[in-house]
Structure 1
Amino acid sequence: MPDPVKIGDRAPVFSLPSESGESVSLGDYIGKKPVVLYFYPKDNTVVCTKEACAFRDNYEEFRRLEGAEVFGISSDPVESHSSFSREHGLPFRLLSDEKGTIRELYGVPKTIGIFPGRVTYVIDGDGIVIHIISSQLGYKKHVEEALWALRSSQKGKI
């Protein structure tokens, strides 16, 4: 496993299929707008659903911050993401990392060595990781801190 991505690192670029089946590349956003990548364990589980809905409910606020884009990433297949996204009216893309390659590339740890970790990376418009949130159960913390990081970055405080 490579070294985990840290604050100040250039975000590793990747491409993954979205809930619609089309490929989404992080490289298409670097240099254009900030990105929030949130890794979560599994579609349709209690905390993951609450987290997705919290990002949904704050999505317009993210978009107001330099057009920031939000992406959720889990190992669920495209079909699961499609259903989950539709059911909860998610306005952002869910990316399917079925083999865990991108989770490993970013160094997202497992919780108690078993469960996929819940980690959010806030990436500025230049592709630099400016904040990382890691909390398995504190789903609100991911949204609140991601918004704080983007606001602080906009004001030149990060």
Structure 2
Amino acid sequence: MARHPLIGQPAPPLSLPGADGETYTFTPGEKGVPVALFFYPKSGSFGCTKEACQFRDALAEKDLFKRTKVDIVGISSDAVDKQKEFVEKQKLTYPVLSDANGEARKAYHVGKGLFGLAETARVTFFVDSKGVVRDVLDTTVNYSAHVKFVTKWLDKLEAEDKKAAETPAAPAEGAAPATSAENAAAPEAPTA
């Protein structure tokens, strides 16, 4: 499969109606937290319900999801009233958006799934805290792979942040770097 054209690029901003009827605006990097945008075929279908509930449960139960403050956003072509019913029935705790006119699918290059049989493919975009698309998972049939994909990326970002924090700062401009002799402890004087 070809590399997705958005990987390494700024994520496109979105404004779509949410299940609550209010417009939800996604401005990549604005909150400074990672975001998982997942597109799914149909609210209420078996795989879509399982996937949506796995994200709900991960937000509630996984320390990694809590620590990183990751935002989860679900998007399908279903109308707002269908989304509202789905969110209420499944007790979803994150925004679920209606892309009835297909503008988000177009912006994110999301095609049809199941060889064209599903209106929308099941695709998850992992966007880092700076608003850059780091990776994309496109697997319509394997609904359970999407939470694992996001978990892998959250682990990777935590490792990157930890490594960056441990890297010593460069010496100030004009300052001489410390020599190993300066860093060594002075020998103790012999005692009588």
TM-score for both structures, normalised by structure 1: 0.90
The question of whether the paired residues in 2 share the 8 Å contact of 1:11 and 1:128 is answered with yes
Corresponding residue for residue 77 of structure 1: 79
Question: Partner residue of 2:6?
Answer: 6
Q: Identity of aligned pairs, percent?
A: 34
Query: 5+ residue gaps in structure 1?
Result: none
Asked if structure 2 preserves the Cα contact closer than 8 Å seen for 1:65 and 1:151, the reply is no
User: Which residue of structure 1 aligns with residue 130 of structure 2?
Assistant: 126
Could you list the runs of 5+ residues in structure 2 that have no partner in the other structure?
A: 162-192
Structure exhibiting the larger radius of gyration computed from Cα positions: 2
1:98 aligns with 2:95: no
Distance 2:89 2:51 in 1: 14
Tell me the secondary structure at the aligned position of residue 137 of structure 1: coil
Matched, 1:113 2:116: yes
Distance 1:37 1:5, change over 3 A: farther
Deviation by residue 1:126-154 (Cα, 9 ceiling, x = unmatched): 00011211111111100101111112012
SS at match of 2:37: strand
Q: More strand per residue: 1 or 2?
A: 1
Q: Output the aligned Cα RMSD.
A: 1.7
Aligned pair count? 154
Match of 1:15 in 2: 15
Matched, 1:86 2:92: no
Residue 85 (structure 1) shift: 0.6
How has the CA–CA distance of structure 1 residues 33 and 101 changed in structure 2, closer, same or farther, with 3 Å as cutoff?
same
User: Contact 1:5 / 1:11 at 8 angstroms: preserved in 2?
Assistant: no
